[in-house]
Copies of this chain bind each other. A is one copy, B any other.
Amino acid sequence: MYNFRTDLANERTEIYKKMNNQQDNIDGIETQDENINDQIKVERVKIINENGVKAIGKPVGNYITIDIKNLKIAREEEISNAAKTLTNELRILVKEHINNQDDVLVVGLGNKSVTPDALGPKVVNEIDITRHLLKYVPQYVKEGARPVSAIAPGVLGTTGIETQEILKGIIDNVKPKLLIVIDALASRSINRISSTIQLSDTGIVPGAGVGNARKELSKQSLGIPVIAIGVPTVVELATLVSDGIDIFIDRLQEKAESNEFLNNLQKEDKYEEVKEALNVGEYNMIVTPKEIDDLILNMSSVVARGINFAIQD
Chain A interfacial positions (CB closer than 8 Å to B): 72, 76, 80, 112-117, 124-125, 129-133, 147-154, 156-162, 165-166, 168-174, 189-191, 193, 210-211, 237, 240-241, 243-245, 247-248, 251-252, 255, 257, 259, 261-262, 270, 273-274, 277-294
* Contact in complex: B243, A278 (CB < 8 Å): yes
A80 CA to B148 CA, complexed, in Å: 27
A185 CA to B116 CA, complexed, in Å: 21
Q: What's the minimum C-beta distance from A290 to chain B, rounded to whole angstroms? A: 4
A222 CA to B130 CA, complexed, in Å: 25
A150 CA to B171 CA, complexed, in Å: 19
Interface of A is mostly: helix
* Contact in complex: B129, A158 (CB < 8 Å): yes
Return the contact of A125 from the options B113, B210, B244 (Cβ within 8 A). Answer: B113
Q: List 17 A-B contacts (CB under 8 A).
A: A113-B293, A113-B294, A115-B115, A115-B292, A129-B159, A129-B160, A148-B160, A151-B159, A165-B173, A241-B244, A243-B278, A244-B278, A245-B245, A247-B274, A252-B261, A285-B290, A286-B288
Q: What's the minimum C-beta distance from A196 to chain B, rounded to whole angstroms? A: 13
Q: A160-B131, A286-B287 are in contact. Are A278 and B247 (CB under 8 A)?
A: yes
* Contact in complex: A248, B245 (CB < 8 Å): yes
Q: What's the minimum C-beta distance from A300 to chain B, rounded to whole angstroms? A: 13
* Contact in complex: B278, A190 (CB < 8 Å): yes
Return the contact of A132 from the options B132, B160, B243, B287 (Cβ within 8 A). Answer: B160
CB-defined contacts of A262 to chain B, threshold 8 Å: 252, 257
* Contact in complex: B289, A286 (CB < 8 Å): yes
Q: What's the minimum C-beta distance from A147 to chain B, rounded to whole angstroms? A: 7
A40 CA to B20 CA, complexed, in Å: 53
Identical subunits present = 4
Q: What's the minimum C-beta distance from A64 to chain B, rounded to whole angstroms? A: 23
The residue in chain B whose Cβ has the minimal distance to the Cβ of A235 is B285
A147 CA to B112 CA, complexed, in Å: 23
The residue in chain B whose Cβ has the minimal distance to the Cβ of A289 is B283
The 5 lowest CB-CB distance pairs between A and B, nearest first, are A169-B169, A131-B160, A149-B160, A283-B289, A241-B244
CB-defined contacts of A278 to chain B, threshold 8 Å: 190, 240, 243-244, 247
A83 CA to B157 CA, complexed, in Å: 24
CB-defined contacts of A291 to chain B, threshold 8 Å: 114, 283-284
CB-defined contacts of A191 to chain B, threshold 8 Å: 279, 281
Return the contact of A189 from the options B115, B251, B279 (Cβ within 8 A). Answer: B279
* Contact in complex: A237, B287 (CB < 8 Å): yes
Known contacts A151-B159, A241-B241, A283-B291; 20 further A-B pairs (Cβ under 8 A): A76-B80, A113-B125, A114-B291, A114-B293, A115-B115, A116-B290, A124-B158, A125-B158, A129-B159, A132-B157, A149-B159, A149-B161, A151-B153, A151-B166, A165-B173, A166-B169, A240-B241, A245-B245, A257-B261, A286-B288
